Amino acid sequence: MSQSKVQIKNLYKIFGKTPKKVLAQVKAGMGKPELLEQTGHVLGIQNVSLDIPEKRIQVVMGLSGSGKSTLIRHINRLIEPTDGQILIDGEDVLSMSDKQLREVRRKKTSMVFQKFGLLPHRKVAENVGYGLEVQGVSDSEIAKRAQHWIDRVGLTGYENHYPGQLSGGMQQRVGLARALATDAEILLMDEAFSALDPLIRYDMQSILLELQDELHKTIIFITHDLDEALRLGDKIAILRDGALIQEGTAPQIVLTPADDYIADFTKDINRGKVIRLKALAAAGSPYDGAMIDGSTVLADALLPLSQAPDQRLGVTDANGAYLGAVTLTQAIAALQG
Amino acid sequence: MEFFEEFPSLGRKTLSGMKQAVDETFKGFSRAYGEQLENFFDPLLRFLIWFEKLLEATPWPIILLVVGGLAWIGSRSWKITAGSVLAFVVIGVLDMWEDTMATLAIISVATLLCIAIGIPIGILMSRSDRMQAIITPILDVMQTIPSFVYLIPVVMLLGIGKVPGLIAVCIYAIPPIVRLTNLGIRLVDKDVLEAADAFGTTPWQKLWGVQVPLALPNIFAGINQTIMMALSMVVIASMIGVKGLGVPVLRAISNQYLALGLMNGLAIVALAIIFDRVSQTYGKRLQAYRQGGK
């Protein structure tokens, strides 16, 4: 795996009057309900450590109240943690002065919000150029770069509209263009597509994946939707009650859920579209028949498997190297979970 | 028994001693600093006089044109523009032109002064809860204390004339603009502010680029209220030597001239309605983006 871009180390966030005082109790193992009952403090983040790889999409998933939106706001310090460390490119974000922090927010990170967070009194082009304007970039340069990103997200012709005149999906395209316009390497997306209806959401995911193929940003994507997580995430982390309970790739989460909570989550998803053959390929006896690419999802592998002479196929990795063999029976078993 | 029938007050001697002490102190203060204060307000007085003379010296057709033009720029409505010009024509025909110009002068200067002082105070108030806790009761006092009460120290300090009148008008008229600036900034959507923060805005950029522009509709409502309240002070201000429509009203009260009182009173009302309609429609146009219009 590539290098870590953002590292979160033993992060704690407690909301309340004297969070520092109750921190020791939390560290000693007090849970969220007891903490609330005994001290009136709310446990937001509980000892979360997460290495976020460079140029990949890291999804953080959890139900509402799991602390995922709190977590993402720690990365650019919109929320101050109670304890712990956050490193961006090895630099400690928490020890930065206001000025240094502003520099990070201007140049290194940019953010897309669930409720869009657009400036209602500014036109689309002025919204997209906002991050650059804050940095003091010249007007002509802003206009040029804003136009580029407006075109890229498919809003050409809407430059002079106000956000209030656009649909939700279009407003979020403005939000995305605004975030991309600063050329920041890290894109923080807080439930960016959750407010959109399913079809538009799917479109936006496609736009994001398309852009990512070319831009290779480090994206931290928060969602409560497992389908979205599985579709977008190179890596997925699952939060519950502010604690990290599982971390891994999509097939890892689906095939080996860490506990019943996650198993419950994953039981309704379409496993055929998530699990790839390479996860099933058992190293062992060599196979001399037909080969199939290991990144094929199960749904697409069933037909070739059933047509193979002994209903068995060899699996190769992206470079064509042999990984192992898979049988139709194995594939069907994996589908049923 | 006597104790319960009458409230045990301090007694006349003590009280009159206290009152005298306060009076003497203030008189001493005004003797010592009155002149400096007058000098301090001198630029304001000159500006006011200059503006009044300008309005009075300008030929009436030009004033009518300017009134119509401003009404049009503000409201973009033929009805309001025509109504404003017509009101001024009627005022002129009924021979109240000069007084109206004087009133217009003091109202304009008072409003400008209130904006210049009130908006910064409102911004200050919106930025700290402690400032809000300190300023709010002061504004309450300014709005509810009978005007005659603060006329006393103002007149003691500055005598009778335009400046004390202006100050009296401002004391009464400034609270709405302070309050609504504060309110407007505090009501700006938290999500928008968070987004601004996330892109690395400095507090100054956030204030002028996000908070004030989004608070403008409320600030405008405040300016509107300030103008209305300033107009309602015209009669009281005329008691301490401010020229304008208040003077004939005052004369009408003391001599029981019903027609004179009504005419000048209605002229004040006409001014109020013009200011109100024009500034309100202008404020509405400022927030066109909210209705999805262009």
Residue A1 has pLDDT above 50, yes or no: no
Note the pLDDT of residue B91.
94
| Chain B contact for A104 (CB, 8 A cutoff) | yes
Give the pLDDT confidence of B150-177 residue by residue, as tens digits.
888 888 888 888 889 999 999 999 999 9
Residue of B187, B190, B199, B220 to mutate, testing the A interface (most A Cβ within 10 Å of its Cβ)? B199
- Which residue type sits at B248? P
Q: Rounded CA gap, B119 and B125, in Å? A: 10
Q: CB-based contacts of A293: which residues, under 8 Å, 6+ apart?
A: A277, A315, A316, A318
Stretch A195-219: mean pLDDT: 92
A232-250 average pLDDT score: 90
| Per-residue burial over B195-230, b = 16 or more CB atoms within 10 Å of its CB, e = otherwise | bbbbbbbeeebbbebbbbbbbbbbbbbbbbbbbbbb
- Containing H/E element for A244? strand A243-248
- Interchain contact, A121 vs B196, CB within 8 Å: no
Average pLDDT over residues A84-101: 92
How confident is the model at residue A284, as a pLDDT? 65
Predicted pLDDT of residue A283: 66
Hey, what are A274's tokens?
């998530």
Considering only CB atoms, which chain B residues are within 8 Å of A109?
198
Residues of chain B found within 8 Å of residue A105, distances taken between Cβ atoms: 197-200
- A203–chain B nearest CA distance, Å: 23
| Contact between B290 and A120 using a beta-carbon 8 Å cutoff | yes
CB contact under 8 A, B199 and A117: no
pLDDT confidence of residue B290: 65
Q: Is A142 on the interface with B (CB under 8 A)?
A: no
User: Which residues does chain B have within 8 Å of residue A116's beta carbon, measured at their own beta carbons?
Assistant: 191
Q: Which residues of A touch B289 (CB under 8 A)?
A: 120-121, 162-164
Residue A3 pLDDT more than 90? no
Do the chains contact at B195 and A121, CB–CB below 8 Å? no
8 Å CB contact of A164 and B290: yes
Tens digit of each residue's pLDDT (9 = 90 or more) over A274-289: 888 877 877 666 777 7
Instruction: Give the whole-number percent of chain A exceeding pLDDT 70.
Output: 98
Query: What count of CB pairs under 8 Å joins A to B?
Result: 76
Q: Does A158 lie at the interface with B, CB-CB under 8 angstroms? A: no
Residue of A nearest to B211 (CA): A119
Q: Pick from A110, A116, A163: which is nearest to B199 by CB?
A: A110
Q: What is the predicted pLDDT for the residue at A143?
A: 94
Where chain B has pLDDT below 50, the residues are 293-294
| Residues in chain A, total | 337
The complex's ipTM works out to: 0.83
Q: Between chains, do B192 and A135 touch, taking CB under 8 Å as contact?
A: no
Chain A closest CA to B160's CA: distance in Å? 46
> Does residue B292 sit at the A interface (CB-CB below 8 Å)?
yes
Give contacts of B202 with chain A, Cβ < 8 Å.
Answer: 102, 134
Q: What percent of chain A has pLDDT over 90?
A: 57
Cβ contact B292–A130 (<8 Å): no
Q: Tell me whether residues B195 and A78 touch, CB distance under 8 A.
A: no
Nearest CA in chain B to A164: B292
Q: A188 and B198: CB-CB below 8 Å?
A: yes
Residue with tokens 């008008």: B169
A160 to chain B: closest CA residue = B294
Contact A119 B294 (CB under 8 A): no
Of A164, A178, A188, the CB nearest to B292: A164
Tell which of A118, A134, A176, A194 to mutate to test the B interface (max B CBs under 10 Å): A134
Q: B191 and A117 in contact (C-beta within 8 Å)?
A: yes
Closest CA–CA distance from residue B271 to any residue of chain A (Å): 31
pLDDT band at residue A272 using 50, 70 and 90 as cut-offs? confident
For the stretch A213-219, contacts whose Cβ atoms lie closer than 8 Å and that sit 24 or more positions apart, written own/partner, are A215/A180, A216/A55, A217/A55, A217/A184, A217/A185, A217/A186, A217/A187, A218/A5, A218/A6, A218/A52, A218/A53, A218/A54, A218/A55, A218/A56, A218/A58, A218/A185, A218/A186, A218/A187, A219/A56, A219/A57, A219/A58, A219/A186, A219/A187, A219/A189
Alpha carbon distance B24, A179 (integer Å): 66
Distant-in-sequence, close-in-space partners of B8: CB < 8 Å, separation ≥ 6: none
What angle separates helix B147-158 from helix B12-57, to the nearest 10 degrees? 80
pTM assigned to the model: 0.83
